[in-house]
Each structure stands twice: as structure tokens, then as C-alpha cells.
Amino acid sequence: MDGWTLQRLSGLTQSLLLALTKANMASGSNFWKRARWLALLVALVVLLPYLTSRLLSRGRRIQVRTCAAQVDDFHGRVAGRPLRVACYNIAHGRGVPFDNWNGESKKVRLERLQDIANQLREIDADIVALNEVDFDSSWSHGENQAEFLARNAGYPYWVEQRNLDFRIGIWKWRFGNAILSRHPISNAKSIELPDYSVRETLLAGKKRGVAGFIRLDKTRFPSLPTIGLMAVHLSHRSEQLRVDSAKMIGEIVGDMDMPIIVAGDFNSSPPGFAKSSTTESGQNAILTFDESQQFQRSPAATPALSEMTFPSNAPQQVIDWILVPNALQIVDYEVIGLDLSDHLPVVADVALKAEGDGSAGEL
């Protein structure tokens, strides 16, 4: 649960306590009568919507959706072109500032979302992993940002996966990860990651991942009919939690029967990179992925400034990654300079490894 949410909950609690204190000043039975009415009011206004939202949250955690989006003659229609993958933490559409409750009008938020959609069209990826996507949150005026981007960036298929999903009174927090695809998505599954707090998970939700299983065009990719894209957003709270998440993701990927690309905001940089962190025992999430020998990444060595992904207005570190399984390889990689989020989008072209020499071959 983010700091602003906790602050507002704290404010609501203080208001209720103040009301009870004032009621306590009334005499005898009059106090209890008012207290009962106040408790009923709290239940109706706060608890009932909240409990309903939490009961329904599990059933709507994952949704695979489609629309009649207009798909441009994008690069992928050319036979033999690599598969283009992108990841982008869109920061709830708020732009560069940290504050989600920044008072922007719905019109301003939608204009920024349209700018993001235009950039996604320009990037021209086959599949996209998105983080911090609102599906129905008060701070972004209830807009389903995944659907907006899918329709306006030319992606007929998408997956919504909710990390947090709850409502208190008139305020709603419903957001998480999304996958956009220009190829049909046959199925999707939620990827369970370790809890920061069991109580917090029960009360509001937690960071999870989502794996989408995508049927590729046989004329373009005759050797790879299906591929998986796992969109993840690892916790910002501790490297230990990120290491535990990396281990769990590695186990899940190892059990799958198709190549899985893992992409998103990992909140982690490997040792030797700027602002890298480790656990007390010297572990690191990206290093954990490296040691699993399941993936390749770029940048592999000390990054140039042009390869930094965060923060967007003065990049200092690499925390947004596209990890490619060993059956594939990265043939091109780029970080796109934008000011539409506090993160920068990452783009990678990937292809099958050719037999023998390890060079790239056609998918």
C-alpha cells in the first residue's frame, strides 16, 4: 500500500475518532445512541464497499481482453523481422512527479495517456509489458489505462492483472501490470510473489506478476508458434524481497514448456552498476537471475548513460529490464528518452539462436 493511501486512511481514522470523542461528551444514553448510528454509518460508507471490493478482487485479478484496435502496418508484418519486446512503467499516467494525488484533471491525464499511446505506436513492439497501470483508481479518474492504451496504440489483445484492488468510501485503488499484444493471447496466469506483509496482502493486495501466453504469426515465426511474456514489478522495499521474488520467478519459468521473456520494473541493479544494493549476505535480484543461467540481459556490462532507465528526468540507474531466455538472444536494445513517466521505456529485438555458432536466426 503506498504512502499516500496510508496517509488518507490515517486521516479517515482520525476523523472517526474525533467524532466519537465529541459523541462521548454527550450524556449517558444519548452518547450510546449516537455511537450506534455512527457505527452503522461507518459500516455503510466505509466497511461495506471495502469488504465487497476485497471479496470480488480474487475473481477479477486476471482478465484477458480483446478489442477491434486498428493495427498499423507495423514492422512485424515483414517476414524474418525479429520479435520486438518493450517494457514501460507508466507511473499511473501521472508523468514525472512522484505524487499520484497531484490534482490533475481527467483531461490532462488522458492527454498524457494519448502521448504514451503515440509513443507505443512509434516503438512498434509486438508485445509490451506495462507496470503501474490503473484499471479503476480515483487518482486517475477511474480510467482503465490498459484498455485506453490498447485501443489507441493499436493492440487488439491485452491482459490486465491487479496488484492492489480495494475501495474505501468513494476512493478506489485498482492497479497493477498489463500486457499488450498484436498477436492473440491464448491464456494468462497470475504469478505469485512473496508477501511483504501477510496482513497487507489480505487488506489491500500485493505486487504480483502476470504471464501471458501468446500465439505468434506462423508465417513470421515458423519455428516459434507460442511464446510467454511475464510482466513483473518487484518490490521497492527490500533487496531480500526482490531476491526471493527472483528465485520464485526462476522456478516458475523453469517449469514452463515454452520460452518465457521476463520484463518490467525490477527495482534492482546488479553489483557494479550505479545504486546497486545487496542483502546482508551479499545477494542481489539481478545477480540471482544471472546465476540461474536461464536468461540473458542488456546491458550486461557497466551501462552507458543512454542505457539508464530511472529516473527519467536525470537517469542514474538501470532498474527496468527485459530478460531473454537462452533459446533466444537480443539482437538490438534501446532505452527511449521520454518525459511521460518517471521511468524510461526499454525496447529489445530478439531472435532465435542459430544452431552451432550462436548467431541469431529467424524465429
Q: Each residue of 201-239: pLDDT tens digit?
A: 998 999 999 999 999 998 888 888 899 999 999 999 999
pLDDT at position 19 is: 55
Q: Each residue of 78-98: pLDDT tens digit?
A: 666 899 999 999 999 999 998
More confident residue, 49 or 329: 329
pLDDT at position 6 is: 47
HEC string of the chain equals CCHHHHHHHHHHHHHHHHHHHHHHCCCHHHHHHHHHHHHHHHHHHHHHHHHHHHHHHHHHCEEEEECCCCCCCCHHHCCCCCEEEEEEECHHHCECCCCCCCCCCHHHHHHHHHHHHHHHHHHCCCEEEEEEEECCCHHHCCCCHHHHHHHHHCCCEEEEEEEEEEEECCEEEEEEEEEEECCCEEEEEEECCCCCCHHHHHHCECCCEEEEEEECCCCCCCCCCEEEEEEEECCCCCHHHHHHHHHHHHHHHHCCCCCEEEEEECCCCCCCCCCCCCCCCCCCHHHHHHHHCCEECCCCCCCCHHHCCECCCCCCECCEEEEEECCEEEEEEEECCCCCECCCCEEEEEEEECCCCCCEECC
Q: Each residue of 129-177: pLDDT tens digit?
A: 999 999 999 999 999 999 999 999 999 999 999 999 989 888 999 999 9
pLDDT band at 358 (very low <50, low <70, confident <90, very high): low
Q: What is the mean pLDDT of residues 25-40?
A: 69
